[in-house]
Amino acid sequence: MSLARRWLNKLGRWGRRAPKAPPPVPVRNAVAAALGPGALLALNVGARWGDGGAWWRIAPLVTIVGFEPDQVECDRLNALCADSARERYLPLALGAAVQDAELHVTFDPACSSLYPPIEALADRYPALQQIRRVETRTVRLTPLDDWWQSEGRPSVDFVKLDTQGSELDILRGGQTMLVDCAGCEIEVEFSPIYHGQPLFTDVDTFMRERGFVLWRLHELTHYPECWPRPREQGRLIWSSAVYLRDYRSLGTTDKERRQRLVLAALLEALDDHEAAKNCLAGASQGPATTTAADAPPGEHASSRS
């Protein structure tokens, strides 16, 4: 065989190599196929501006119900999503119990709170100028559990809360609803911005006592005493804390299998792809055995719920 023929044969074999495998189907699409489009119900509590680019807006899986007590802003958000059957906003102020409360409206309406702002912070930290109070309004508070009951007790899969200090009060008013919830994103403060507000340690204790695990802290935000300065300089003030159920603690009931599917989609949206893959694979299996090595420091595996 001539040298040219041998090279042509080699080129032919190389050309017949097996094609690359197609890319895997995104977890969100697999979950949507299993549960149906729009099957994951997410609550957006403190919905001003709409959170259009939020990581938890997992198309085509999510249906969103938002809560925004400012009627004008609520109407604006509903107008923006008028063509969508999977997004709506309600002009409700949420709290731990049914009662009237004072809403402290600030220079930036997004900083308004049921807790009075510590306005002296605006003198120390230029970035907090927006918390200066301009007026107060009386609002009627509704517990999340009351809204949930009125809606026919739907399965709420995810809750995002950003209400300037009242997040823990709202969680306390939704404890029954939270039992089947797979995850939450909660704005938390490490130093108070409002008088009397709960801090991160209070929120973290509440969530852990209800079976959630702190998965991630987004947007660790520091405020310097002069401006401008890089965002990472200055005093640590707030962050967004993501809490999820630990998929390895879930069993094989229909409710727990559904939670595994929802968690897989949430984990993929957080770019935690290995955990998402393992979670999805476990949706058709029983609970994993938890060893002492898996338990957090100071917690024995046998004591975990």
pLDDT in tens, 122-174: 999 999 999 999 999 999 999 999 999 999 999 999 999 999 999 999 999 99
Residue reference for tokens 């003198």? 123
What is the pLDDT, as a whole number, of residue 240? 97
Give the 3-state secondary structure of residue 150: helix
Confidence band for 305, pLDDT divided at 50, 70 and 90? very low
| Mean pLDDT estimate for the chain | 87
pLDDT > 70? residue 278: yes
Q: Which residue has the higher pLDDT, 167 or 294?
A: 167
Let me know if residue 298 belongs to a domain: no
Let me know if residue 19 belongs to a domain: no
Confidence band for 52, pLDDT divided at 50, 70 and 90? confident
Instruction: Tell me the pTM.
Output: 0.84
* % of residues, the chain, pLDDT over 70: 83
> What's the structural domain count of the chain?
1
pLDDT > 70? residue 230: no
Residue count of the chain, please give it.
Answer: 305
Q: Give the number of other Cβ atoms within 10 Å of residue 238's Cβ.
A: 21
Let me know if residue 74 belongs to a domain: yes
pLDDT average, residue stretch 51-65:
91
Is the four-CA dihedral 99, 105, 108, 112 of positive or negative sign?
Answer: negative
Let me know if residue 283 belongs to a domain: no
The answer to whether residues 249 and 304 touch, using CB atoms and an 8 Å cutoff, is: yes
What is the pLDDT, as a whole number, of residue 174? 98
pLDDT > 80? residue 24: no
Least confident of 21-25, 71-75, 292-296: 292-296
What is the pLDDT, as a whole number, of residue 300? 37
Let me know if residue 192 belongs to a domain: yes
What is the pLDDT, as a whole number, of residue 26? 86
Pairing status of strand 133-142 against strand 99-106: antiparallel
Q: How far apart, in whole angstroms, are the C-alpha atoms of residue 126 and residue 219?
A: 19
> What is the token pair recorded at 106?
């600030």
3-state secondary structure 85-136: CCEEEECCEECCCCEEEEEEEECCHHHCECCCECCHHHHHCHHHHHHCEEEE
What is the pLDDT, as a whole number, of residue 233? 82
What is the pLDDT, as a whole number, of residue 49? 87
pLDDT > 50? residue 100: yes
Domain of 66, in residue numbers: 25-245
Q: What CATH code is carried by the domain that includes residue 80?
A: 3.40.50.150
pLDDT digit string, tens, across residues 281-290: 877 654 444 3
